[in-house]
């Protein structure tokens, strides 16, 4: 018997996958703002596959910007972590795909997303834990929103990670102008002052994202600001 080949999805298929999720979604802009960064990470950067979800040497991706996770679910479907049949039930009582991802229910999810501001501290702890275990190859990636950087837990994580030299830690900030910064330099200056390697790119340009994601940063954690269109009021 010939085995039917599994569907292979491309970036162009993501809009169709997003359209399958017709539940009551309160954070549409939060979903679409992350789409390109998520795709580039999962398509070209992260060393993780459905077959390697439990591999200690896998890269870890943590979604801190967990509200409006439709783009995340679409990318997980496209890469074979989640069955496409789950998408139409998004947000319903019985669906594993909730309005915040649950690591127990969603294959490939490393953390459960809830209160904003907790992802970066968890990523710092994850990077420290891997270092303590002698696992120096896995990269830790966390995607955050610009507004959640106001949380105090993030101030502490940013201040700690630089001096600790957590060079396997990578943060992607989706900047849709949801937050304002009084000091010159904004988000970038804040991370640079704490000893991070920082770059700002067009959050819709896949080549810019890829180059920033893969740039060397020896001895320092890496932060990429992905600027997208401002969030509408």
User: What is d(CA 200, CA 190) in angstroms, rounded to the nearest whole number?
Assistant: 13
CB 21 within 8 A of CB 70: yes
The parts of the chain modelled with pLDDT lower than 50 are 1-5
User: What is d(CA 129, CA 133) in angstroms, rounded to the nearest whole number?
Assistant: 6
Torsion sign (Cα): 197, 230, 39, 106: positive
Residue 120 to residues 34, 74, 152: CA-CA distances in angstroms? 16, 23, 11
CB 174 within 8 A of CB 146: yes
Residue 176's pLDDT is 86
User: What is d(CA 224, CA 229) in angstroms, rounded to the nearest whole number?
Assistant: 16
CA dihedral 210, 212, 216, 221 (to 10 degrees): -120
Beta-ladder partners of 227? 175, 202
SS3 for 14? helix
CB 184 within 8 A of CB 175: no
Residue 23's pLDDT is 64
CA R_g for the chain: 17
* Reduced 3-state DSSP string for 63-121: ECCCCCCHHHHHHHHHCCCCCHHHHHHCCCCCCCCCCCCCCCCCCCCCCCCCCCCCHHH
Residue 227's pLDDT is 95
* Reduced 3-state DSSP string for 119-180: HHHHHHHHHHHHHHCCCCCCCEEEEEECHHHHCHHHHHHHHHHCCCCCCCEEEEEEECCCCC
């Amino acid at each position: 018997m010939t085995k039917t080949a599994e569907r292979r999805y491309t970036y162009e298929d993501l809009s169709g996958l997003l359209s399958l999720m017709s539940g009551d979604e309160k954070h549409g802009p939060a979903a679409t703002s992350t789409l390109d960064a998520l795709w580039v990470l999962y398509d070209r950067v992260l060393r993780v596959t459905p077959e390697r979800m439990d591999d200690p040497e896998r890269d870890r991706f943590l979604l801190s910007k967990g509200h409006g996770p439709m783009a995340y679910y679409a990318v997980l479907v496209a890469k074979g972590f989640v069955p496409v049949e789950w998408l139409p039930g998004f947000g319903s009582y019985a669906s594993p795909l909730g309005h915040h991802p649950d690591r127990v229910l969603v294959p490939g999810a490393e953390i459960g997303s809830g209160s904003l501001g907790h992802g970066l501290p968890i990523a710092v702890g994850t990077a420290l834990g891997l270092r303590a275990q002698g696992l120096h190859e896995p990269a830790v990636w966390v995607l955050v929103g610009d507004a959640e950087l106001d949380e105090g837990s993030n101030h502490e994580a940013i201040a700690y990670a630089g001096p600790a030299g957590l060079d396997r830690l990578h943060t992607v900030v989706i900047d849709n102008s949801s937050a304002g910064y009084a000091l010159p330099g904004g988000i970038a200056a804040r991370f640079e002052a704490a000893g991070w390697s920082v770059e700002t790119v067009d959050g819709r340009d896949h080549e810019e994202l890829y180059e920033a994601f893969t740039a060397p940063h020896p001895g320092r954690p890496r932060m990429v600001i992905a600027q997208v269109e401002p969030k509408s009021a």
